[in-house]
Every structure is written in C-alpha cells, then in structure tokens.
A and B are shown apart, each in its own frame.
Chain A
C-alpha cells in the first residue's frame, strides 16, 4: 500500500487520531482509526449526529489524496437509569 514517501500506514493512523483529538471543532479522543484496503475507517461511538459528521470532515482534511474514508461511527443512545446496586 502506497501512502507517499513519508506517510507509512501507522503514521497515517496517528495523523488522523491527532486531528480528531486536537482539532477544536471536535476534540474526540476515543475514536478508533484503522487503515484497511487502502481506506481509513473511523470506528466507535460519538455523542451526536453533528459530531459524527464533523469527525469525517476533520479526518478527510488530513488524508493524502486518493485515500478513501469510511465513517462507521455511530451515535450513542442512553436509557434513563440503571437498577440500584446495594452496597451495604
């Protein structure tokens, strides 16, 4: 797989993760980034549809030309509360 002379696959993953964490539009530290079949995959969960969309924009900006992006992020859904855990 060719990502350019200096952009090894693992540096590409690091570059994307860094952008997702540090870009002020996003600041997402928990998105999993994987490279497979010449594409970058965004995996995991974010809090809103807007953050899911924004993550793809931020990631795409740091990708070299010709590298595809697959946005598999899903939006978290929470129910109201748990059962009570009796501790004493």
Chain B
C-alpha cells in the first residue's frame, strides 16, 4: 500500500507563519509521502522560503516538491532549493525520487513544466525569437519529464509531479482565454508515453480537481484553492506486487 498526500499553490508569504504546519499535524498517520506541486511561496523570496522551510521542518514524512512560477519570480531558485533541502525536502527540477515502502517502490518524476496550450490550439516554435524560446522551454521541460519518468519505469507506482497542467480537463472553471498560460499538452504526451499511474499538478486555482490524459492516466489538480484542504490523499495498493502474489499472500 502506497499512500500519497499532495498539495500545490501554498503561496506562503511572510504573513503565513504557522498557517500550513497545523494542517500537517496528522500527515504521518495518513500518508507515506507529501508531494508539493509548486507555487510554494507568493513572491519567490528567500525570506518566504525560510518561512516555508519552518512550516515543513520536523515532519516524519518524506517531502518532495517542484517549484511554480511564483517561486521563480525573484530569481532565487538556487538558494531557495538549498533552503528546502536543509530541512530534508527534495526539490525535483527534471529529477526523480524513488521511495521504498515495504515491498513496493514509489517513483516520482517532477518538473515545474511550462505553458503553450493544448493540442489543436497551442503555440509553435516559429517566428520571433521570443516566441520560439517560449515554446522551446515547454518542449525542453516535457523532454526532461519524459527522461525522469523513464528512469522510474521499474517502480510499482509512478507519479508525474508538475506545476503546470498537462491537460485541459482540470482547468474547467478558468477563463478559456488563459488556457495557453496554464499548461501544455506536451507534458501529457510525456506522461502517456511512460504510462504513469498518476499525474499531479497545481497552478490552476479556479480549475477542477479531476481529469484524465488522452492515454487514460488520472490527472489531479491539487492546488489548495481547488482541494480546499491542506493536502489531498491518494492510495495505491489493492493489487498485490508480483513477488508477494507468487507466495500466495496478499498485501491487502
């Protein structure tokens, strides 16, 4: 049994001291890992990351995170990553993490991702240098996600963690005009290519919690303004792993 807690868009500010940690009081009883889907802070400042690190310090649950656009705003990604790592939070920027839970292995491939729109109505790497670099950024992030997912292909449960949305389905409630700024289908293509078990994202505060990729991978928008809780819980585990099955036992 693998139990995942996930939340995005905490938007922690200097006025958020003591706001998130109370919501995590029972986390260790409910989940094996906490995944944070970006926009961890409001302005991306070093001081805010110190506040966030305090909120996350001392948890008895492993934590992995991707950054969001807000976390990039002041250009302190390197320092902010170090601040999170100093309290044991793994930051995934085109990287992956593998956690062993009993007989099973959970793999998480994470990247912020970027925008560009969805199949049939998206930008192309064409024209002005600014437009080309915009779409190239999305393509590179999708490729990094694909490589990270490939690296965890041997895990029993494989999760893609992004800030931007891989699909339109979880954006329902947002203005149609801003869809191209909320994500890219290229992320979904990478997720489908790897046949991931779950895709988690944030960024869309007014969107919907549930969707599915064209390839059938469940997508969950875990932005806090959407889930209305400190974290959303998911579990995998009704199917016993092959080695256990061969011994005629069940993990339940």
Contact = CB atoms under 8 A, between A and B. Distances in A.
A50 to B, nearest CB: 4
B230 A87 contact: no
B197 A78 contact: no
Contacts of A48: 13, 15-16, 19
B5 A81 contact: yes
A61 interface: no
A47 B13 contact: yes
Interface size class of B (residues with CB under 8 A): 35 or more
Contacts of A85: 220, 232-235
Contacts of B76: none
Given A81-B229, A87-B198, 6 more contacts: A78-B228, A81-B30, A81-B231, A87-B218, A87-B234, A87-B235
Nearest to B224: A78
A78 B23 contact: yes
Contacts of B205: 30
Interface of B: 3, 5, 11, 13, 15-16, 19, 22-23, 25-27, 30, 42-43, 70, 73, 157, 197-198, 205-206, 218, 220, 224-225, 227-239
* Top 8 A-B pairs, shortest CB-CB distance: A84-B233, A50-B15, A88-B236, A30-B205, A48-B15, A82-B232, A82-B229, A85-B234
B204 to A, nearest CB: 10
A45 interface: yes
Interface string A62-79: 000000000000001011
